[in-house]
Structure 1
Amino acid sequence: MVFEPLATLALKRFSPSIWMSRIMITWGIISMCQGATQNYAGILACRFFLGLAEAGFYPGVLYHLSFWYPTQKLPLRIGFFYACGMFSGTISGLLAYAISFMNGVGGLAGWRWLFILEGIPAILCGIYTYFFLPNCKLIMILLSLHPPLLIQM
């Protein structure tokens, strides 16, 4: 919680596509590094840096949503965002159970595979976000007026 305000200020300094993609890519890399740790201190260090890296994600999403929706419609969108987060928690639990059966594959323990495989989608989403997250409403207005521009991008 200490770093959330600082991360939100950084979001204002950098464009949302750069800052949010940085959060997701860093999140994925650190998650994958947890799978390579060799001791408890390594896990603690990774968890600290993971918290530091993802501190701006939720405030950043809420800040970015505030650009796109009027005040009356914003609470519903925020509620949907949080509901998706809770739903993903149930799916990730089932996924973790399935990945635990990979114990010994490639000489790695199942818990290591869990961190490695959960880091890959975060990195891919970060790359996608860099290229496709609109930075401001003006860009979306221009693209909606000229659909061929959207196809070219």
Structure 2
Amino acid sequence: MKHVGTFRGIDIESGDVVFCDIDDTLFDYGAPIDNYWKEKIEDPGYKIWYSIIENTIPTITDKYFYDFLNLIRENNAEIYFITARNVNFKKLTVEHLKYHSLEHIECHCLSGTCKSKYISENFDLKKYNRKIFIDDSEKNIADINDNLNDFVTYLYKK
């Protein structure tokens, strides 16, 4: 696991695939969502969480993210957004991606499914040179490192 605070520090080579988390890795929803997580609000079904993000336009966490996308394109690599969000939130997620001109990148909402399990079952990992996983959660990084071979993992903290 490598620690990064910017996408600028992530090297991309030809034939790579990147799996990138959304919340607190790509998108920043600011104080309302930060407070939500700090207060550990009882929120079955994430209704409060959804109402916060529904009424907040996220910012991109890193000004170098678009340079990172250009590097991916230049190297004929691929990128996918992988989020633990419930599939019921996909429409809103895509709207937020569209706001930032990122709707062309495939987004996978896992509804709580383990990220390593989802990736291994839904992608042909043998066809890629290197597999890169970027997430702000140490738990998700550990899951990838423990269950998938040959992944380069980045713990992203803005």
TM range (shorter): under 0.3
Comparing both structures, which one devotes a greater share of its residues to strand? 2
Taking structure 2 as the reference length, the TM-score comes to 0.27
Comparing both structures, which one devotes a greater share of its residues to helix? 1
Taking structure 1 as the reference length, the TM-score comes to 0.27
Q: Which has the larger radius of gyration?
A: 1
